[in-house]
Chain A
Amino acid sequence: MKGKRRIVVVGATSAIASHCARLWLENQPSDLTLVGRNAQRTDRVASDLKVRSPESLIRVVCADFLDPEVITTTVENIFQSGDVDIVLIAHGSLPEQVRCQNDLKACCQALNINGVSPVLFAEAFAKQMAKSNHGTIALIGSVAGDRGRKSNYVYGAGKGLITRYAQGLQHRFAHSRVKVVLIKPGPTDTPMAADLKDKGTKLAPVEKVAKEIVEGIEAGRPVIYTPRKWWLIMMVIQHLPAFVFNKLNI
């Protein structure tokens, strides 16, 4: 008999990711590895999940998310204890756009954590999953990656990197059993969006977004817009001619 389903969550302390993990464990006890940068915060998520699903096996791994060597060994170590069925790569950080414009260090950090780091993790998992010809790599991008706009284009560029990367990975694995899922949430009620919330932006409940992500991964959808209406909204925004788009204060 096959053992428990093996799931890895990178950026496990994210509100979206931890709600996904709650749903996965609610569906069936699993073998879950949580990867975070801070042990205390990641353990907090692990304890919560352990209470929700005592039959699950939950491991915590801490790593520096910006160091390619650390990422390589972290992922190799994870595969030492067996194949992975699903990896969700969830970390990200919403920088202040104006700060990125004035401080290239901030700009660089934003591009690294939102674009480069998730891609490196995905690449490390791709390498292992290619060997076993098995597994799903799910990456959280954003609707912000669909078209750059003045209020957050540095973040958007990082997310856009994920979009382009995921396309390539899907192409690479098209004829294999490795699946690649690109998730594009709209504004969601999580700590990351606290400032948006303060400014009165309407945010989707994190429970709803997590549910759509888990269902979308289950269904093997290549791209998940969540909430779904964002597919339509972004379709329109991507196709607005520049003379209209440039008039929008977004």
Chain B
Amino acid sequence: MKPVSSWGRLSAEPHRVVELHDPFIVKDFLSHGPLPGLAYGMGRSYGDVCLNPGGTLWVTTRLNHFMAFDDRAGRLVCEAGVLLRDIQRLAVPRGWMLPVTPGTQLVTVGGAIANDVHTKNHHVMGSFGDHVRNLTLIRTDGEVIRCGPNERSDWFAATVGGLGLTGVIIQAEIQLRRVAGPWLETEIVPYGNLDEFFRLADDSEADWEHTVSWIDCISGGGGRGLFLRGNPTSPGNLPEPKGCNVTVPFVPPFSLVNRLSLRLFNMAYYHAKKRRAGRAVRHYEPFFYPLDNVLEWNRMYGPKGFFQYQCVVPRKVGKIAIQTILKEISRSGDGSFLAVLKTLGNRQSIGMLSFPQPGVTLALDFPNKGTHTYKLLERLDAIVYEAKGRLYPAKDSRMPKQLFELGYPRLKEFLKYRDPGISSGFSRRVMGG
């Protein structure tokens, strides 16, 4: 048993850690052992969907082999522990790219499927599961299930966004998309309030593949921010940026994120970026994965860790709900380091428990200050509940059961596909087992 944390570093409970390194004997590993298990990729989820305190974690990162790549059709078959970074680096020089990647590329294919991750281009590309042609799942009873959108599609719908609870994905076939190269034409547009944000979002959807915004949830509370949009482009041969990693070298004894630093950061960020507003050609890595060069940045929140809070609320009530949330945060005196506001496209996700749905999504993070923070998040829950929204399990470590049930009406249908030998901190909390 050894302590394992997820990205939010809120806990470090003991787990029995087993590394799956040979895909041909995964079955034997899953069927052994008296404790319930759970697949664990890169642990980039913030809360407890990837944790199983007191139980087994099957670490998948050694299942990191490519299996086949059809260069003409852009179809890649790979093991589930392959990192999205490795796919990008393989595919981009050959004119292909993953259609959907989250804000960090240091995640596994299995993790990306199990959380059905989405990104800035949701209105065009949907979520990760939309590009999976098929996957292979191994259950703890040894059954092997191959499924896809046209083959045992019920299993597919349960497994995409299924939070690892239907079995262990060992391989998948992914449809990549064509690109001319690694470059994007990008633009930063400052906005002064939420009305302007929604107008920008609506105006940009037709012509821009990527849209997202950073919103300042401290100064003013009025909802000023910076709208970022981008399109793939081919500017000829620009030099690739030199990747240079810095690491937060140790966990500081207290959170470096406090009221003062937040206020300063938010102000500095807003003005620095505002000055650089306008158009620019950028490489996909800093555009898609702005924090990947700061390794272990999650340490800056100190030993108590931090919460992420990501909700999506329907568009009809979007403005008022977001406004209320922002007010609540500014009233609490707590603020979020990076608050991200984005509209999601008008499409339903494949997965029974996939997070993305039409509306507007807000993602926030808060240093863990115990009861104070829990209270604030409960007040935000009430707003989301009222708006008939939902929270993102990948970011969650505390949502109440009722909020989960309200947000995910297909839960009952999903439960039939659960693997009885698999359980997570999250499932025990919101599904009762």
Contacts and interface: CB of A to CB of B under 8 A. Distances in A.
Contact of A15 (B24, B62, B71, B78): B62
Contacts of B17: 198
Interface string A36-62: 000011001101100110100000000
B19 A194 contact: yes
B21 A191 contact: yes
A52 B66 contact: yes
A48 B19 contact: no
Interface string B65-79: 111110100001010
Contacts of B90: 51-52
A198 B23 CA distance: 21
B2 interface: yes
B66 A191 contact: no
Contact of B67 (A15, A47, A191, A198): A47
B13 interface: no
Contacts of B78: 51
B22 interface: yes
A200 B2 CA distance: 9
A41 B24 contact: yes
A127 to B, nearest CB: 33
Nearest to B70: A51
B24 A40 contact: yes
A22 to B, nearest CB: 10
Contacts of B19: 191, 194, 197
A48 B171 CA distance: 13
A240 B2 CA distance: 33
B60 to A, nearest CB: 13
A12 to B, nearest CB: 12
A45 B2 contact: no
Interface in A64-110: none
A44 B68 CA distance: 10
B65 A44 contact: yes
B272 to A, nearest CB: 34
B285 to A, nearest CB: 18
Interface residues of B, number: 17
Given A15-B62, A191-B19, A198-B17, A51 B24 contact: no
Contact of B22 (A41, A47, A198, A200): A41
Given A52-B90, A54-B71, A47 B21 contact: no
Contacts of A15: 21, 62
A47 B65 CA distance: 8
A191 B67 CA distance: 20
B265 to A, nearest CB: 32
A234 B393 CA distance: 48
Contact of A48 (B2, B22, B24, B65): B65
A51 B67 contact: yes
Interface in A182-203: 191, 194, 197-198, 200
Given A15-B62, A52-B90, A54-B71, A44 B2 contact: no
A172 to B, nearest CB: 37
A45 B66 CA distance: 9
Given A41-B22, A41-B24, A191-B19, A48 B67 contact: yes
B68 A47 contact: yes
A134 to B, nearest CB: 32
Given A194-B19, A198-B2, A200-B2, A51 B68 contact: yes
A47 B23 contact: no
A211 to B, nearest CB: 15
A19 to B, nearest CB: 10
Contacts of A45: 65
Contact of B66 (A41, A47, A197, A198): A47
11 contacts: A45-B65, A48-B67, A51-B68, A51-B78, A52-B66, A191-B19, A191-B21, A191-B62, A194-B19, A194-B21, A200-B2
Top 3 A-B pairs, shortest CB-CB distance: A51-B66, A48-B65, A191-B21
Interface of A: 15, 40-41, 44-45, 47-48, 51-52, 54, 191, 194, 197-198, 200
Given A47-B65, A191-B21, 17 more contacts: A40-B24, A44-B23, A44-B24, A45-B65, A47-B67, A47-B68, A48-B65, A48-B66, A51-B66, A51-B90, A54-B69, A54-B71, A191-B19, A191-B62, A194-B19, A194-B21, A198-B17
